[in-house]
Amino acid sequence: MVGNIIPRQLENLRFNRVRFKEKRAFETGWQNKPYTYDEITKYFPRENYGVICGEDIRVLDDDTEDSSLIKLYLTNFGDTFRVRDHLYFKFDNGHKDKIILNHPIRFFKDSNGKDTHHMGEIQGDKTYVVGANSTHPSGEVYDVRKDIEIKTISYDKFLAVFGDYMKKVRKEVIREHKQSDFSGDDITDIPIGNIISFNGLQPQGEGRYQGEHPLHGSSGGMNFSVDSNNNTWYCFRCCTGGGASELIGVMEGVIQCHEAGSHCYTQEQAKEVISLAREKYGLQSTNNTNKRQSAIARVIKITDLAKKNNFESCPLCKNKFNLDEHQGYYYCDTCKYGGGIYKFAEMISLYGDHHDM
């Protein structure tokens, strides 16, 4: 394959401009102003280009060290057009939502801090992959490794093969629906630290942390931000974010990360998120005085809890925790992990000196 040619297999797809030797889009709002094949060739090869995904094209992006997702695909569906570790294909039913693929058993980081849970994605609507013959940040070329036609596969068979790796499989959300407001529940007050661990997040100022997305990971390690002052989060990869309710929806597979935002739930999804919040994250009815962690933090100070249980220092590095009495947060600057008062209490029960409360 000649290095300055966009492959003919892509000629009917949509494209965006990408900075040379980068993966970053050249223009903001690229989702709403795609280029045709003829238009993008005017900028390539002095720039990279992106192939915009959706119902007209899907791309398996394998992040595993042993290419296990690619092997699984090829075993069950055979060869298709391939660029580096990107397999291009189409679904027979036009399904277009991005699909996150996670290991069904492993939920931890290895000794080098690498996420063993996240395995890859099926890139979909509002995402793109860097196109063939573009230049990788390392200087290598996104070489075409299988110069054949793009295959169309059965979506039902895909679910049978990859279903165990998908957080949840859901029908496409219909956006014309009555907005949900979570009335009667203070779900937005559930501390972010009760939903995810702060492990690996780096302090970015008072109450702010940044690092790898807890679900779909990050190639650069800094695509996810948390602000514990206003109890919000943001994903720089998907350009989405929100508060506790949106994060519960993402982490539990009710929605995908790129769907998160204001009024992102149908009525049915809203009910499920509330149910999950009550079942797993401590949400109580509004007439319950213990409904929020901030209220608990006013009754039981995390500093007093730590002192009473001789647990003021990190059990891993032995350095002092940073403790936030107002919100009931803890954080270790050395080991880069932390969370809320519930997780702190759980950690005391596992590692600390046990005293009667």
Q: What letter does residue 135 receive in the DSSP assignment?
A: B
The predicted structure's pLDDT at residue 308: 83
The predicted structure's pLDDT at residue 285: 54
Residue 181 confidence (pLDDT) above 50 = no
Record the pTM.
0.51
Residue 189 confidence (pLDDT) above 80 = no
Give the rounded percent of residues in the chain with a pLDDT score beyond 90.
32
More confident residue, 142 or 176: 142
For all residues of the chain together, what is the average pLDDT? 80
Mean pLDDT over 115-127 rounds to: 81
Instruction: Report residue 272's pLDDT band, with 50, 70 and 90 as the boundaries.
Output: confident
267, 268, 269, 271 alpha-carbon torsion, rounded to 10°: 90
Highest mean pLDDT among 85-94, 211-220, 293-302, 331-340: 85-94
Any bridge partners for residue 15, and if so which? 35, 51
Separation between Cα atoms, residue 39 and residue 27, nearest integer Å: 15
What six digits make up the tokens of 298?
Answer: 């006013």
Strand 151-153 and strand 128-130: pairing?
unpaired
Separation between Cα atoms, residue 53 and residue 31, nearest integer Å: 10
The predicted structure's pLDDT at residue 105: 60
Residue 342 confidence (pLDDT) above 60 = yes
More confident residue, 115 or 153: 153
Mean pLDDT over 317-321 rounds to: 87
The predicted structure's pLDDT at residue 167: 56
168 Cα distance to chain centroid: 14
Condensed to tens digits (0 to 9), the pLDDT of residues 31-70 reads 889 999 999 999 999 999 999 999 899 999 998 888 999 9
Residue 289 confidence (pLDDT) above 60 = no
Residue 163 confidence (pLDDT) above 50 = yes
The predicted structure's pLDDT at residue 269: 83
The predicted structure's pLDDT at residue 221: 74
AA identity, residue 337: Y
Condensed to tens digits (0 to 9), the pLDDT of residues 2-14 reads 557 999 999 999 9
Contact status, residue 137 vs residue 22, Cβ threshold 8 Å: yes
Q: Where are the domains of the chain?
A: 8-165, 187-285, 295-351
The predicted structure's pLDDT at residue 343: 74
The predicted structure's pLDDT at residue 277: 83
Out of 1.10.1670, 1.10.10, 3.10.50, 3.90.580, select the CATH number for domain 187-285.
3.90.580
Residue 339 confidence (pLDDT) above 50 = yes
Mean pLDDT over 179-196 rounds to: 64
Separation between Cα atoms, residue 159 and residue 257, nearest integer Å: 20
Buried/exposed 301-312: b ≥16 CB within 10 Å, e otherwise: bbeebbebbebe
